[in-house]
Amino acid sequence: MFCAKNPEVVEDKKIIIWPQWLAALTISLEAIVSGLATGWASPYLAQLTSAETDTPLKLTYTEASWVASFLNLGRLFGALFGALCQEYVGRKKVLLLSSLPLATSWVFDISTTTITTSLYVSRFCSGIGSGILWTTVSLYLGEIADPTIRGSLISMNVNVASMGIFLGNMMGPYLSMEMFAYVCLVPNILFIVLFSLIPESPYHYTLYGNIDKAEASLKWFRRKADVKAELQQLQDFVDGARTAFLPKLKDFLLPVNLKKILMLFGLNVFVYASAYNTMNSYAEIVVIKSGVSITPSIVVMALGFSTIVAGFTAVLVVDKFGRKNLLIVSSIGVAISLIVLGLHFYLLSLNFDSEKLTWLPITSLLTFSIFVSYGFIPIPGTLLSEIFPANLKNLASLSIGSSNAMLSFLFIKSFQPFIDAAGETIVFWTYGFVVLTAVPYVWYLIPETKGKSLLEIQRSSDPLNKGVVNYQSCDKKFNSIFVIDSSFKKNQRDDETRYSSKA
Protein backbone atom coordinates (compact mmCIF):
# COMPACT_ATOMS: atom_id res chain seq x y z
CA MET A 1 0.00 0.00 0.00
CA PHE A 2 1.28 3.45 -0.87
CA CYS A 3 1.17 6.22 1.71
CA ALA A 4 2.38 9.68 0.86
CA LYS A 5 4.88 11.10 3.29
CA ASN A 6 3.25 13.73 5.41
CA PRO A 7 4.81 16.17 7.90
CA GLU A 8 3.62 16.20 11.50
CA VAL A 9 0.49 18.24 11.68
CA VAL A 10 -1.76 18.80 14.65
CA GLU A 11 -5.26 18.26 13.34
CA ASP A 12 -7.41 21.36 13.66
CA LYS A 13 -11.00 20.30 14.07
CA LYS A 14 -12.31 23.81 13.58
CA ILE A 15 -13.09 24.34 9.90
CA ILE A 16 -13.23 27.91 8.62
CA ILE A 17 -15.46 28.10 5.56
CA TRP A 18 -16.45 31.74 5.15
CA PRO A 19 -13.73 32.53 2.53
CA GLN A 20 -15.07 29.67 0.40
CA TRP A 21 -18.62 31.00 0.73
CA LEU A 22 -17.34 34.48 -0.14
CA ALA A 23 -15.79 33.17 -3.36
CA ALA A 24 -19.00 31.30 -4.21
CA LEU A 25 -21.15 34.37 -3.55
CA THR A 26 -18.90 36.47 -5.80
CA ILE A 27 -19.26 33.94 -8.61
CA SER A 28 -23.01 33.97 -8.03
CA LEU A 29 -23.10 37.49 -9.53
CA GLU A 30 -22.16 35.99 -12.89
CA ALA A 31 -24.54 33.07 -12.32
CA ILE A 32 -27.33 35.65 -11.91
CA VAL A 33 -26.30 37.26 -15.22
CA SER A 34 -26.45 33.87 -16.94
CA GLY A 35 -29.87 33.29 -15.35
CA LEU A 36 -31.05 36.70 -16.56
CA ALA A 37 -30.03 35.72 -20.10
CA THR A 38 -32.11 32.55 -19.78
CA GLY A 39 -35.02 34.30 -18.06
CA TRP A 40 -35.10 36.94 -20.80
CA ALA A 41 -36.68 34.46 -23.20
CA SER A 42 -40.00 33.71 -21.50
CA PRO A 43 -41.44 37.27 -21.26
CA TYR A 44 -39.90 38.70 -24.41
CA LEU A 45 -40.69 35.77 -26.71
CA ALA A 46 -44.30 36.00 -25.53
CA GLN A 47 -44.29 39.73 -26.38
CA LEU A 48 -42.49 39.38 -29.71
CA THR A 49 -44.85 36.64 -30.95
CA SER A 50 -48.06 38.28 -29.71
CA ALA A 51 -50.23 40.22 -32.17
CA GLU A 52 -51.66 42.23 -29.28
CA THR A 53 -48.35 43.63 -28.00
CA ASP A 54 -46.99 46.85 -29.49
CA THR A 55 -43.28 46.15 -30.08
CA PRO A 56 -40.95 47.43 -32.84
CA LEU A 57 -39.93 43.86 -33.65
CA LYS A 58 -42.22 40.92 -34.41
CA LEU A 59 -41.23 37.24 -34.61
CA THR A 60 -42.91 34.18 -36.06
CA TYR A 61 -43.00 31.05 -33.90
CA THR A 62 -40.21 29.58 -36.04
CA GLU A 63 -38.04 32.67 -35.50
CA ALA A 64 -38.86 32.58 -31.78
CA SER A 65 -37.71 28.95 -31.56
CA TRP A 66 -34.39 30.01 -33.12
CA VAL A 67 -34.03 32.89 -30.67
CA ALA A 68 -34.61 30.46 -27.80
CA SER A 69 -32.21 27.91 -29.30
CA PHE A 70 -29.31 30.19 -30.23
CA LEU A 71 -28.39 30.63 -26.56
CA ASN A 72 -27.85 26.87 -26.28
CA LEU A 73 -25.97 26.72 -29.57
CA GLY A 74 -23.67 29.39 -28.17
CA ARG A 75 -23.30 27.31 -25.01
CA LEU A 76 -21.79 24.54 -27.12
CA PHE A 77 -19.02 26.79 -28.43
CA GLY A 78 -18.55 28.36 -25.00
CA ALA A 79 -18.21 24.95 -23.37
CA LEU A 80 -15.58 23.89 -25.91
CA PHE A 81 -13.62 27.12 -25.56
CA GLY A 82 -13.85 27.23 -21.76
CA ALA A 83 -12.77 23.63 -21.25
CA LEU A 84 -9.78 24.03 -23.59
CA CYS A 85 -8.59 27.19 -21.79
CA GLN A 86 -8.99 26.03 -18.19
CA GLU A 87 -5.84 23.98 -17.86
CA TYR A 88 -3.58 26.60 -19.42
CA VAL A 89 -4.82 29.89 -17.97
CA GLY A 90 -6.56 28.63 -14.83
CA ARG A 91 -10.18 28.43 -13.69
CA LYS A 92 -10.25 31.97 -12.32
CA LYS A 93 -9.23 33.65 -15.57
CA VAL A 94 -11.66 31.53 -17.55
CA LEU A 95 -14.48 32.56 -15.20
CA LEU A 96 -13.52 36.20 -15.68
CA LEU A 97 -13.42 35.60 -19.44
CA SER A 98 -17.04 34.35 -19.36
CA SER A 99 -18.20 37.84 -18.44
CA LEU A 100 -17.05 39.36 -21.76
CA PRO A 101 -19.46 37.61 -24.19
CA LEU A 102 -22.31 38.07 -21.70
CA ALA A 103 -21.59 41.80 -21.55
CA THR A 104 -21.36 41.86 -25.35
CA SER A 105 -24.84 40.33 -25.62
CA TRP A 106 -26.33 43.11 -23.48
CA VAL A 107 -24.55 45.74 -25.59
CA PHE A 108 -26.19 44.22 -28.70
CA ASP A 109 -29.60 44.40 -27.00
CA ILE A 110 -29.02 48.07 -26.19
CA SER A 111 -27.78 49.13 -29.62
CA THR A 112 -30.15 47.17 -31.89
CA THR A 113 -33.67 46.29 -30.78
CA THR A 114 -35.42 46.14 -34.16
CA ILE A 115 -33.27 43.68 -36.15
CA THR A 116 -33.88 39.94 -35.89
CA THR A 117 -30.30 39.05 -36.86
CA SER A 118 -28.91 41.19 -34.04
CA LEU A 119 -31.18 39.33 -31.64
CA TYR A 120 -29.74 36.05 -32.88
CA VAL A 121 -26.17 37.35 -32.33
CA SER A 122 -27.06 38.64 -28.87
CA ARG A 123 -28.48 35.28 -27.79
CA PHE A 124 -25.51 33.44 -29.28
CA CYS A 125 -23.08 35.63 -27.28
CA SER A 126 -25.10 34.99 -24.11
CA GLY A 127 -24.76 31.29 -24.80
CA ILE A 128 -20.99 31.51 -25.26
CA GLY A 129 -20.60 33.28 -21.92
CA SER A 130 -22.92 30.83 -20.15
CA GLY A 131 -21.12 27.86 -21.70
CA ILE A 132 -17.75 29.10 -20.48
CA LEU A 133 -19.17 29.81 -17.02
CA TRP A 134 -20.93 26.51 -16.37
CA THR A 135 -18.10 24.27 -17.60
CA THR A 136 -15.74 26.00 -15.17
CA VAL A 137 -17.66 27.03 -12.06
CA SER A 138 -18.27 23.55 -10.62
CA LEU A 139 -14.61 22.58 -11.09
CA TYR A 140 -13.34 25.79 -9.45
CA LEU A 141 -15.70 25.47 -6.48
CA GLY A 142 -14.98 21.75 -6.17
CA GLU A 143 -11.27 22.50 -5.89
CA ILE A 144 -11.48 25.28 -3.29
CA ALA A 145 -14.24 23.82 -1.11
CA ASP A 146 -14.01 21.74 2.03
CA PRO A 147 -15.66 18.32 1.44
CA THR A 148 -18.33 19.11 4.04
CA ILE A 149 -19.70 22.04 2.01
CA ARG A 150 -18.64 21.22 -1.56
CA GLY A 151 -22.11 20.11 -2.64
CA SER A 152 -23.69 23.16 -1.02
CA LEU A 153 -21.36 25.64 -2.74
CA ILE A 154 -21.94 24.18 -6.18
CA SER A 155 -25.68 23.78 -5.64
CA MET A 156 -25.96 27.37 -4.45
CA ASN A 157 -24.43 28.77 -7.63
CA VAL A 158 -26.54 26.56 -9.86
CA ASN A 159 -29.64 27.68 -7.99
CA VAL A 160 -28.61 31.34 -7.95
CA ALA A 161 -29.06 31.13 -11.72
CA SER A 162 -32.71 30.39 -10.91
CA MET A 163 -32.80 33.73 -9.11
CA GLY A 164 -31.56 35.35 -12.32
CA ILE A 165 -34.29 33.58 -14.27
CA PHE A 166 -36.87 34.79 -11.75
CA LEU A 167 -35.60 38.38 -12.00
CA GLY A 168 -35.71 38.14 -15.79
CA ASN A 169 -39.30 36.88 -15.69
CA MET A 170 -40.23 39.62 -13.24
CA MET A 171 -38.58 42.53 -15.10
CA GLY A 172 -39.48 41.43 -18.63
CA PRO A 173 -43.17 42.43 -18.61
CA TYR A 174 -42.36 45.93 -17.33
CA LEU A 175 -39.02 46.92 -18.92
CA SER A 176 -38.09 47.50 -22.53
CA MET A 177 -35.42 45.21 -23.95
CA GLU A 178 -32.97 48.11 -23.90
CA MET A 179 -33.54 48.93 -20.21
CA PHE A 180 -33.41 45.21 -19.32
CA ALA A 181 -29.93 45.06 -20.87
CA TYR A 182 -28.73 48.08 -18.86
CA VAL A 183 -29.86 46.43 -15.62
CA CYS A 184 -28.08 43.18 -16.52
CA LEU A 185 -24.76 44.96 -17.10
CA VAL A 186 -24.60 45.97 -13.40
CA PRO A 187 -23.94 42.51 -11.84
CA ASN A 188 -21.76 41.70 -14.84
CA ILE A 189 -19.39 44.58 -14.06
CA LEU A 190 -19.53 43.92 -10.30
CA PHE A 191 -18.42 40.34 -10.90
CA ILE A 192 -15.39 41.43 -12.93
CA VAL A 193 -14.28 43.86 -10.21
CA LEU A 194 -14.87 41.66 -7.16
CA PHE A 195 -13.79 38.28 -8.50
CA SER A 196 -10.46 39.77 -9.58
CA LEU A 197 -9.67 39.96 -5.83
CA ILE A 198 -10.33 36.22 -5.20
CA PRO A 199 -7.35 33.82 -5.48
CA GLU A 200 -6.91 31.23 -8.20
CA SER A 201 -7.66 27.60 -7.32
CA PRO A 202 -4.71 26.01 -5.46
CA TYR A 203 -5.17 23.03 -7.77
CA HIS A 204 -4.04 25.12 -10.77
CA TYR A 205 -0.94 26.41 -8.99
CA THR A 206 -0.02 22.91 -7.82
CA LEU A 207 -0.56 21.54 -11.31
CA TYR A 208 2.10 23.92 -12.65
CA GLY A 209 4.50 23.39 -9.76
CA ASN A 210 3.98 26.82 -8.17
CA ILE A 211 3.84 25.46 -4.63
CA ASP A 212 4.30 28.81 -2.89
CA LYS A 213 1.25 30.31 -4.61
CA ALA A 214 -0.71 27.10 -4.03
CA GLU A 215 0.10 27.30 -0.32
CA ALA A 216 -0.89 30.99 -0.21
CA SER A 217 -4.18 30.17 -1.97
CA LEU A 218 -4.93 27.36 0.48
CA LYS A 219 -4.17 29.64 3.42
CA TRP A 220 -6.57 32.25 2.02
CA PHE A 221 -9.40 29.75 1.58
CA ARG A 222 -8.75 27.78 4.81
CA ARG A 223 -7.54 30.65 7.04
CA LYS A 224 -4.96 28.33 8.59
CA ALA A 225 -1.25 29.03 9.11
CA ASP A 226 -0.27 25.42 8.42
CA VAL A 227 -1.75 23.77 5.32
CA LYS A 228 1.15 21.44 4.56
CA ALA A 229 -0.88 18.28 5.04
CA GLU A 230 -3.60 19.41 2.61
CA LEU A 231 -0.98 20.75 0.20
CA GLN A 232 0.78 17.37 0.19
CA GLN A 233 -2.56 15.69 -0.45
CA LEU A 234 -3.22 18.09 -3.31
CA GLN A 235 0.22 17.40 -4.80
CA ASP A 236 -0.50 13.67 -4.77
CA PHE A 237 -3.95 14.25 -6.27
CA VAL A 238 -2.56 16.21 -9.26
CA ASP A 239 0.52 13.99 -9.64
CA GLY A 240 0.83 13.14 -13.32
CA ALA A 241 -2.03 15.42 -14.33
CA ARG A 242 0.18 17.51 -16.62
CA THR A 243 0.59 15.04 -19.42
CA ALA A 244 0.29 15.39 -23.18
CA PHE A 245 -3.13 15.29 -24.81
CA LEU A 246 -2.84 11.81 -26.35
CA PRO A 247 -1.94 10.04 -23.06
CA LYS A 248 -4.83 11.90 -21.41
CA LEU A 249 -7.18 10.81 -24.18
CA LYS A 250 -5.97 7.24 -23.75
CA ASP A 251 -6.72 7.41 -20.01
CA PHE A 252 -10.03 9.08 -20.75
CA LEU A 253 -11.09 6.14 -22.92
CA LEU A 254 -10.29 3.57 -20.26
CA PRO A 255 -13.46 1.68 -19.24
CA VAL A 256 -13.47 3.07 -15.69
CA ASN A 257 -13.43 6.69 -16.95
CA LEU A 258 -15.60 6.15 -20.01
CA LYS A 259 -18.21 4.65 -17.71
CA LYS A 260 -18.28 7.88 -15.68
CA ILE A 261 -18.77 10.01 -18.81
CA LEU A 262 -21.57 7.81 -20.12
CA MET A 263 -23.15 7.75 -16.65
CA LEU A 264 -23.22 11.57 -16.44
CA PHE A 265 -24.37 11.88 -20.05
CA GLY A 266 -27.26 9.51 -19.34
CA LEU A 267 -28.20 11.49 -16.24
CA ASN A 268 -28.21 14.73 -18.26
CA VAL A 269 -30.48 13.15 -20.87
CA PHE A 270 -33.05 12.74 -18.12
CA VAL A 271 -32.39 16.28 -16.89
CA TYR A 272 -33.07 17.87 -20.28
CA ALA A 273 -35.93 15.47 -21.00
CA SER A 274 -37.57 16.94 -17.90
CA ALA A 275 -38.04 20.11 -20.00
CA TYR A 276 -36.71 22.37 -17.25
CA ASN A 277 -34.51 24.25 -19.71
CA THR A 278 -37.32 24.31 -22.27
CA MET A 279 -39.70 25.74 -19.67
CA ASN A 280 -37.30 28.60 -18.99
CA SER A 281 -37.83 29.74 -22.59
CA TYR A 282 -41.48 28.80 -23.12
CA ALA A 283 -43.01 29.14 -19.64
CA GLU A 284 -45.22 32.10 -20.41
CA ILE A 285 -46.35 30.65 -23.73
CA VAL A 286 -47.24 27.34 -22.01
CA VAL A 287 -49.19 29.20 -19.31
CA ILE A 288 -51.09 31.21 -21.96
CA LYS A 289 -52.02 28.03 -23.84
CA SER A 290 -53.17 26.36 -20.61
CA GLY A 291 -55.97 28.93 -20.43
CA VAL A 292 -55.53 29.94 -16.80
CA SER A 293 -57.64 32.82 -15.49
CA ILE A 294 -54.61 34.47 -13.81
CA THR A 295 -52.25 36.83 -15.64
CA PRO A 296 -49.60 34.53 -17.22
CA SER A 297 -46.65 36.75 -16.27
CA ILE A 298 -47.68 36.56 -12.58
CA VAL A 299 -47.81 32.76 -12.79
CA VAL A 300 -44.32 32.68 -14.34
CA MET A 301 -42.99 34.93 -11.55
CA ALA A 302 -44.48 32.57 -8.95
CA LEU A 303 -42.81 29.64 -10.69
CA GLY A 304 -39.47 31.45 -10.61
CA PHE A 305 -39.83 32.29 -6.93
CA SER A 306 -40.71 28.68 -6.03
CA THR A 307 -37.60 27.53 -7.91
CA ILE A 308 -35.44 29.88 -5.82
CA VAL A 309 -36.94 28.71 -2.51
CA ALA A 310 -36.62 25.04 -3.43
CA GLY A 311 -33.11 25.56 -4.77
CA PHE A 312 -31.82 27.15 -1.59
CA THR A 313 -33.52 24.44 0.46
CA ALA A 314 -31.55 21.92 -1.62
CA VAL A 315 -28.34 23.79 -0.74
CA LEU A 316 -29.04 23.06 2.94
CA VAL A 317 -29.73 19.35 2.48
CA VAL A 318 -27.47 18.22 -0.39
CA ASP A 319 -24.54 17.50 1.97
CA LYS A 320 -26.85 15.95 4.56
CA PHE A 321 -29.10 13.57 2.61
CA GLY A 322 -26.76 12.88 -0.30
CA ARG A 323 -26.81 13.19 -4.06
CA LYS A 324 -28.69 9.99 -4.93
CA ASN A 325 -31.62 10.59 -2.58
CA LEU A 326 -32.21 14.10 -3.93
CA LEU A 327 -32.02 12.87 -7.53
CA ILE A 328 -34.59 10.13 -6.88
CA VAL A 329 -37.00 12.50 -5.13
CA SER A 330 -36.52 15.02 -7.93
CA SER A 331 -37.18 12.40 -10.63
CA ILE A 332 -40.43 11.19 -9.09
CA GLY A 333 -41.74 14.71 -8.40
CA VAL A 334 -40.89 16.03 -11.87
CA ALA A 335 -42.41 12.99 -13.61
CA ILE A 336 -45.70 13.28 -11.74
CA SER A 337 -45.84 17.05 -12.40
CA LEU A 338 -45.34 16.62 -16.15
CA ILE A 339 -47.93 13.83 -16.37
CA VAL A 340 -50.47 16.01 -14.52
CA LEU A 341 -49.70 18.95 -16.84
CA GLY A 342 -50.31 16.69 -19.81
CA LEU A 343 -53.58 15.58 -18.19
CA HIS A 344 -54.69 19.23 -18.05
CA PHE A 345 -54.20 19.67 -21.79
CA TYR A 346 -56.01 16.36 -22.37
CA LEU A 347 -59.01 17.64 -20.39
CA LEU A 348 -58.93 20.87 -22.43
CA SER A 349 -59.11 18.76 -25.60
CA LEU A 350 -62.33 17.24 -24.17
CA ASN A 351 -63.77 20.79 -23.90
CA PHE A 352 -63.53 21.12 -20.12
CA ASP A 353 -63.80 24.71 -18.87
CA SER A 354 -60.25 26.09 -18.62
CA GLU A 355 -61.19 28.57 -15.89
CA LYS A 356 -62.43 25.81 -13.61
CA LEU A 357 -59.19 23.91 -14.25
CA THR A 358 -56.92 26.88 -13.53
CA TRP A 359 -55.63 25.25 -10.33
CA LEU A 360 -54.42 22.14 -12.19
CA PRO A 361 -51.72 23.60 -14.49
CA ILE A 362 -50.59 26.08 -11.83
CA THR A 363 -50.21 23.30 -9.23
CA SER A 364 -48.38 21.01 -11.66
CA LEU A 365 -46.02 23.79 -12.81
CA LEU A 366 -45.29 24.82 -9.21
CA THR A 367 -44.48 21.26 -8.14
CA PHE A 368 -42.41 20.86 -11.30
CA SER A 369 -40.35 23.95 -10.41
CA ILE A 370 -39.86 22.77 -6.83
CA PHE A 371 -38.83 19.19 -7.59
CA VAL A 372 -36.57 20.02 -10.54
CA SER A 373 -34.64 22.39 -8.23
CA TYR A 374 -34.09 19.72 -5.58
CA GLY A 375 -31.96 17.42 -7.70
CA PHE A 376 -31.97 17.77 -11.47
CA ILE A 377 -30.57 21.29 -11.52
CA PRO A 378 -27.75 21.18 -8.91
CA ILE A 379 -26.56 17.56 -8.66
CA PRO A 380 -25.08 16.84 -12.14
CA GLY A 381 -22.67 19.78 -11.84
CA THR A 382 -21.66 18.64 -8.37
CA LEU A 383 -20.90 15.13 -9.63
CA LEU A 384 -18.87 16.52 -12.54
CA SER A 385 -16.57 18.31 -10.10
CA GLU A 386 -16.13 15.22 -7.91
CA ILE A 387 -15.86 11.93 -9.78
CA PHE A 388 -13.02 12.49 -12.26
CA PRO A 389 -9.27 12.25 -11.54
CA ALA A 390 -7.15 15.40 -11.78
CA ASN A 391 -5.68 14.70 -15.22
CA LEU A 392 -9.12 14.20 -16.79
CA LYS A 393 -11.10 17.08 -15.30
CA ASN A 394 -10.76 19.31 -18.36
CA LEU A 395 -11.64 16.57 -20.84
CA ALA A 396 -14.62 15.61 -18.69
CA SER A 397 -15.71 19.24 -18.49
CA LEU A 398 -15.33 19.56 -22.27
CA SER A 399 -17.35 16.40 -22.98
CA ILE A 400 -20.16 17.02 -20.51
CA GLY A 401 -20.38 20.78 -21.17
CA SER A 402 -20.60 20.37 -24.94
CA SER A 403 -23.04 17.43 -24.72
CA ASN A 404 -25.24 19.42 -22.33
CA ALA A 405 -25.31 22.32 -24.76
CA MET A 406 -26.30 20.01 -27.62
CA LEU A 407 -29.00 18.31 -25.53
CA SER A 408 -30.37 21.69 -24.46
CA PHE A 409 -30.36 22.95 -28.07
CA LEU A 410 -32.08 19.82 -29.39
CA PHE A 411 -34.81 19.76 -26.73
CA ILE A 412 -35.58 23.49 -27.00
CA LYS A 413 -35.47 23.57 -30.81
CA SER A 414 -37.67 20.47 -31.10
CA PHE A 415 -40.21 21.56 -28.48
CA GLN A 416 -42.41 23.69 -30.75
CA PRO A 417 -42.29 21.27 -33.74
CA PHE A 418 -43.08 18.38 -31.34
CA ILE A 419 -46.13 20.27 -30.04
CA ASP A 420 -47.23 21.16 -33.58
CA ALA A 421 -47.01 17.49 -34.56
CA ALA A 422 -48.38 15.73 -31.46
CA GLY A 423 -49.96 18.34 -29.18
CA GLU A 424 -49.17 19.37 -25.61
CA THR A 425 -50.71 16.25 -24.04
CA ILE A 426 -48.43 13.78 -25.81
CA VAL A 427 -45.37 16.04 -25.35
CA PHE A 428 -45.69 16.37 -21.57
CA TRP A 429 -46.70 12.75 -21.03
CA THR A 430 -43.69 11.63 -23.07
CA TYR A 431 -41.36 13.81 -20.98
CA GLY A 432 -42.96 12.57 -17.77
CA PHE A 433 -42.63 8.86 -18.48
CA VAL A 434 -39.04 9.29 -19.71
CA VAL A 435 -38.09 11.10 -16.49
CA LEU A 436 -39.73 8.37 -14.39
CA THR A 437 -37.20 5.86 -15.74
CA ALA A 438 -34.46 7.98 -14.14
CA VAL A 439 -35.32 6.45 -10.74
CA PRO A 440 -33.78 2.98 -11.37
CA TYR A 441 -30.98 4.64 -13.36
CA VAL A 442 -29.96 6.78 -10.38
CA TRP A 443 -30.45 3.97 -7.87
CA TYR A 444 -28.15 1.51 -9.65
CA LEU A 445 -25.63 3.68 -11.50
CA ILE A 446 -25.04 7.00 -9.72
CA PRO A 447 -22.36 6.89 -6.98
CA GLU A 448 -22.82 8.60 -3.61
CA THR A 449 -20.07 11.18 -3.00
CA LYS A 450 -21.46 12.98 0.06
CA GLY A 451 -18.78 14.02 2.57
CA LYS A 452 -15.85 12.41 0.73
CA SER A 453 -12.64 14.16 -0.27
CA LEU A 454 -11.72 14.17 -3.97
CA LEU A 455 -8.99 11.62 -3.25
CA GLU A 456 -11.40 9.31 -1.39
CA ILE A 457 -13.85 9.48 -4.29
CA GLN A 458 -11.12 8.39 -6.70
CA ARG A 459 -10.13 5.49 -4.43
CA SER A 460 -13.71 4.28 -4.19
CA SER A 461 -14.42 4.54 -7.93
CA ASP A 462 -11.11 3.40 -9.45
CA PRO A 463 -9.63 0.05 -8.41
CA LEU A 464 -6.21 1.26 -9.60
CA ASN A 465 -6.26 3.91 -6.87
CA LYS A 466 -7.19 1.61 -4.00
CA GLY A 467 -3.68 1.83 -2.59
CA VAL A 468 -3.81 5.59 -2.07
CA VAL A 469 -5.04 6.59 1.36
CA ASN A 470 -5.60 9.90 3.07
CA TYR A 471 -3.00 11.49 5.25
CA GLN A 472 -4.77 11.17 8.55
CA SER A 473 -4.84 7.39 8.13
CA CYS A 474 -1.24 7.45 6.91
CA ASP A 475 -0.22 9.39 10.01
CA LYS A 476 -1.95 6.88 12.25
CA LYS A 477 -0.29 3.96 10.48
CA PHE A 478 3.15 5.58 10.52
CA ASN A 479 2.73 6.54 14.18
CA SER A 480 1.63 3.02 15.07
CA ILE A 481 4.58 1.51 13.22
CA PHE A 482 6.92 4.00 14.86
CA VAL A 483 5.59 3.18 18.34
CA ILE A 484 5.85 -0.58 17.77
CA ASP A 485 9.33 -0.24 16.29
CA SER A 486 10.50 2.02 19.14
CA SER A 487 9.10 -0.34 21.76
CA PHE A 488 10.82 -3.28 20.09
CA LYS A 489 14.18 -1.49 19.98
CA LYS A 490 13.82 -0.36 23.62
CA ASN A 491 13.06 -3.93 24.75
CA GLN A 492 16.00 -5.17 22.72
CA ARG A 493 18.35 -2.66 24.42
CA ASP A 494 17.02 -3.62 27.87
CA ASP A 495 17.66 -7.30 27.14
CA GLU A 496 21.20 -6.51 25.99
CA THR A 497 21.83 -4.48 29.18
CA ARG A 498 20.56 -7.27 31.43
CA TYR A 499 22.65 -9.81 29.55
CA SER A 500 25.80 -7.66 29.87
CA SER A 501 25.26 -7.14 33.62
CA LYS A 502 24.86 -10.90 34.18
CA ALA A 503 28.02 -11.55 32.23
298-340 pLDDT tens trace = 888 888 888 888 877 877 777 778 888 899 999 999 999 999 9
The model's pLDDT over 419-466, given as tens digits with 9 standing for 90+, comes to: 989 999 999 999 999 999 999 999 999 988 887 777 777 777 665 444
Please state, in angstroms and rounded to a whole number, the distance separating the CA atoms of residues 202 and 144: 7
pLDDT of 450 reads 81
More confident residue, 229 or 128: 128
Query: Which amino acid is it at 136?
Result: T
**What's the pLDDT band for 239 if we cut at 50, 70, 90?**
low
202-212 exposure pattern, b = at least 16 Cβ within 10 A, e = fewer: bbbbbbeeeee
Which of 274, 229, 261 minimizes the C-alpha distance to 370?
A: 274
Percent of the chain at pLDDT exceeding 90: 30
pLDDT of 386 reads 82
pLDDT of 383 reads 87
The model's pLDDT over 115-134, given as tens digits with 9 standing for 90+, comes to: 788 889 999 999 999 999 98
More confident residue, 154 or 406: 406
Give Cα separations from 154 to 35, 354, 364 (angstroms).
Answer: 15, 40, 27
The model's pLDDT over 382-400, given as tens digits with 9 standing for 90+, comes to: 888 888 887 788 788 888 8
**What's the pLDDT band for 191 if we cut at 50, 70, 90?**
very high
* CATH 1.20.1250.20 assigned to 22-198+243-450: yes
Does residue 58 register a pLDDT over 60? yes
* Cβ(67)–Cβ(41) below 8 Å: yes
**What's the pLDDT band for 12 if we cut at 50, 70, 90?**
very low
pTM of the model: 0.70
Arithmetic mean of pLDDT, 128-150: 87
Out of 75-79, 268-272, 383-387, least confident range: 383-387
Give Cα separations from 258 to 7, 170, 440 (angstroms).
Answer: 36, 42, 20
Please state, in angstroms and rounded to a whole number, the distance separating the CA atoms of residues 130 and 39: 13
Give Cα separations from 427 to 98, 273, 414, 424 (angstroms).
Answer: 34, 10, 11, 5
Please state, in angstroms and rounded to a whole number, the distance separating the CA atoms of residues 15 and 475: 20
Does residue 114 register a pLDDT over 80? no
Does residue 216 register a pLDDT over 60? yes
Arithmetic mean of pLDDT, 91-120: 88
Provide φ and ψ at 468, rounded to 5°: -90, 125
Query: Which amino acid is it at 256?
Result: V
pLDDT of 449 reads 83
Please state, in angstroms and rounded to a whole number, the distance separating the CA atoms of residues 218 and 199: 9
pLDDT of 314 reads 77
pLDDT of 474 reads 42
pLDDT of 288 reads 87
- Supply the DSSP symbol for 56: S
Please state, in angstroms and rounded to a whole number, the distance separating the CA atoms of residues 186 and 183: 6
pLDDT of 179 reads 93
Does residue 236 register a pLDDT over 80? no
Arithmetic mean of pLDDT, 98-112: 90
Does residue 484 register a pLDDT over 90? no
**What's the pLDDT band for 482 if we cut at 50, 70, 90?**
very low
Mean of per-residue pLDDT scores for the chain: 82
Does residue 467 register a pLDDT over 70? no
Please state, in angstroms and rounded to a whole number, the distance separating the CA atoms of residues 225 and 341: 56
